[in-house]
Amino acid sequence: MSHNNSTLSFRLRRARAIPEPVRALYLDSFPDDERRPLHRLERLVADPESGVELLLVDGGEAVPCGFMTVWTFASGARYIEHFATRHELRGSGIGARALELLDVLTVDCPTVIEVECPDGGGVASRRIGFYEHCGFTLHEDYDYIQPPYKASLSSLPMKLMTRGDLGGRDVESIARELKSTVYGYTEGGDGND
């Protein structure tokens, strides 16, 4: 998929291996408690049956502009687990355009993301504003807890944002599917042994 305008030309490209610059961006962009161990992510991305895709934001340069890890759920919904662009390209419009291209790949597919709780104008609030600008709705009244990526980490209070028609589903059912599919979490168990 390509997108052109007067300043940017890029596409989303599927990959089954994580290029070194994307590994570095992943480790630099997400704190330990907001990312799965790299070796687990590499296994998921390499397995075509995992339901996880690595999408590189490709601007025609040797180094990708950014990346997304995207899960497709049995319900047809998709979950963007991680999304980052290179630091020097942030604010250039690449992120919003990458989300537009994702919609082209999966038409009529509701999307869910986890975001940090609003922080009164700081980074988390700006990130929420970016996603709202891109058509996502913040579910402020829903208390969501992100299960830990590994047993040595704590759960995190987060918020969910969605975009698209949820097909009559409520946020609670989306959250259950997310926790079960992505974290292996079921009520009464952590799935992270």
> Could you read off the pLDDT of 183-192 as tens digits, one per residue?
998 765 544 4
Distance CA 149, CA 174 (A): 19
Mean pLDDT score of the chain: 88
> Could you read off the pLDDT of 105-125 as tens digits, one per residue?
877 789 999 999 988 778 899
59 vs 77, higher pLDDT: 77
Q: Look up residue 124 and give its two tokens.
A: 């988390």
End-to-end CA distance of the chain: 38
User: Which pLDDT belongs to residue 120?
Assistant: 76
Question: What CATH number has the domain spanning 2-183?
Answer: 3.40.630.30
**Burial of residue 152, with CB atoms counted within 10 A of its CB: 0-12 exposed, 13-18 middle, 19 or more buried:** exposed
pTM, two decimals, is 0.89
User: Which pLDDT belongs to residue 4?
Assistant: 40
- Read out DSSP for 125-157? HHHHHHHHHTT-EE-TTS-EEEPPSSTTS--EE
> Could you read off the pLDDT of 138-167 as tens digits, one per residue?
999 999 999 999 889 999 999 999 999 888
User: Which pLDDT belongs to residue 1?
Assistant: 40
> Could you read off the pLDDT of 10-57 as tens digits, one per residue?
788 999 999 999 999 999 999 999 999 999 999 999 999 999 999 999
User: Which pLDDT belongs to residue 119?
Assistant: 84
User: Which pLDDT belongs to residue 23?
Assistant: 96
Mean pLDDT of 65-75: 93
